Amino acid sequence: MIKEIIAQEINTERFINEKVEEIKRAVGDGMAINALSGGVDSSAVTMLGHRALGKRLKTVFIENGLMREGESEQVAGFFQKLGVTVEVVDASKEFFSALKGIVDPEEKREAITQTFYRNVFGRMVKESGAKYLLQGTILTDVDETVAGVKRQHNVFEQLGIDPLETFGYRIIEPLIQLRKDGVRKIGKALGLPAELFERIPFPGPALAARVIGVVTPERIETVRKATVIVERLLKSTGSFQYMAILHEDRVTGMRDGMRDFGQQIEVRCWDSVDARTATPTQLSFEILKTLASQIIRDVPGIVSVTYNITPKPPSTIEAI
Ligand code: XMP
């Protein structure tokens, strides 16, 4: 049973000091690797790890081909300014080949997990001699996985999986007692810029969690283009999270006066504190119309844009 630390009760300095000590003790004079995606969780872990280990922590950004536009450059740039060197590792071909032909959501998540932990990190850990992987699993990830809602890509021990036995390295999870609001406080106290600690959540399986049906480079590119528009137009709402989802079903539309049996994008925009429950933001019809017209104008193949009005539960935040 993990003991939750709620955001209102966190003593940020004490938490940071304790975690830095725990990481130092665990890793000793060895090496560790950490996977940075640029989300608030992995950004906070990167800062904790660097405080604890300095140059003995190797920080990598895995380019899995499923990230948002310009994400690797942006994240590496942010951390450069913080004095942390980020190595970008291109593994996109591996991810697309693992996802090939899979439509079942849990099978997709499993394919991503195996590619991350067994193939990409397994290889990197072997090459670098590191014995530890530091990662930003939070309590909500564990809860949803254990409850059987969704297999979060980064949860093992609570499912009875021993990472050392399965992948050949140990995993350290300094944020496992926190939820998103708590991590934001820690991130701020660690000196992350607001652009990072206020970033909207983005899931480990990345844009693959937002493509219903098969995941191909082309379909990811479609949802990526729609994501740019959704994030640009909804940033000023201050909502907890917003996203574009590419549907599998096609609908008849028309373009240039001709029939176009096209694709559909669903927009979701959530009000939430900790992602456990969420309600759709009451967007104005003006914003909804702008979203539709820009998505249809700029994303090839889209003939329909919808807005989700279902709360979580029974919806979940991501679509798969
Ligand atoms: P759901 O879709 O389960 O999402 O309502 C709850 C929150 O968790 C994020 N999410 C994930 N984060 N690995 C993660 O690190 C995952 O596999 C994953 N799946 C969902 C989601 O974006 C939301 O903020």
Give pLDDT tens digits along the chain (320 positions): 899 999 999 999 999 999 999 999 999 999 999 999 999 999 999 999 999 999 999 999 999 999 999 999 999 999 999 999 999 999 999 999 999 999 999 999 999 999 999 999 999 988 988 999 999 999 999 998 998 888 888 899 899 899 999 999 999 999 999 999 999 999 999 999 998 888 899 998 999 999 999 999 999 999 999 999 999 999 999 999 999 999 999 999 998 899 999 999 999 999 999 899 999 999 999 999 999 999 999 999 999 999 999 999 999 999 99
Does residue 205 form part of some domain?
A: no
Tokens of 32: 């560790």
* Residue 317 domain-assigned (yes or no): no
**Cβ(154) – ligand 1 distance below 6 Å:** yes
Q: Are 94 and 123 in the same domain?
A: yes
Same domain, 23 and 119: yes
CA–CA separation, 318 and 246 (whole Å): 11
269: amino acid identity, one letter? C
Residues 148 and 292 in one domain: no
Strand partners, 251: 262
Is the distance from the beta carbon of residue 241 to the nearest atom of ligand 1 less than 6 Å?
yes
Q: Is residue 314 part of a domain?
A: no
Helix (H, G, I), strand (E, B) or coil at 247: coil
Among 170, 197, 224, give the residue marking a domain's end. 197
Are residues 150 and 217 both part of a single domain?
Answer: no
Q: Which of 142, 163, 197 is the last residue of a domain?
A: 197
Residue 67 one-letter amino acid: M
* pTM of the complete model beyond 0.85: yes
> Are 178 and 249 within one domain?
no
Are residues 78 and 215 located together in one domain of the fold? no
Structure tokens at 218: 């082309």
Whether residues 273 and 179 fall in one domain? no
Residue 279 has, within 13 A of its CA and on its CB side, a CA count of 3
Residue 302 lies in a domain: yes
Sign of the Cα torsion 98, 103, 104, 109 reads positive
* Domain limits for position 292: 211-307
**CATH code for the domain of 12:** 3.40.50.620
Q: Which residue's alpha carbon is nearest to atom 11 within ligand 1?
A: 203
Query: Does ligand 1 have an atom closer than 6 angstroms to the CB of 150?
Result: yes
Ligand 1 atom nearest to 149, measured from its CA: 3
Give yes or no for a cis peptide into 313 (omega within 30° of 0). Answer: yes
Mutate to test the pocket of ligand 1, among 68, 239, 317 (most ligand atoms within 8 A of CB): 317
Q: Cβ(65) to ligand 1 under 6 A?
A: no
Which residues touch 273 (CB under 8 Å, ≥6 apart)?
A: 180, 181, 240
- The set of residues, in sequence order, having a beta carbon less than 8 Å from that of 153 and lying 6+ positions away, is 109, 112, 113, 116, 203, 204, 205
State the CATH number of the domain containing residue 299.
3.30.300.10
Structural domain count of the chain: 2
Ligand 1 atom with minimal separation from the 144 CA? 3
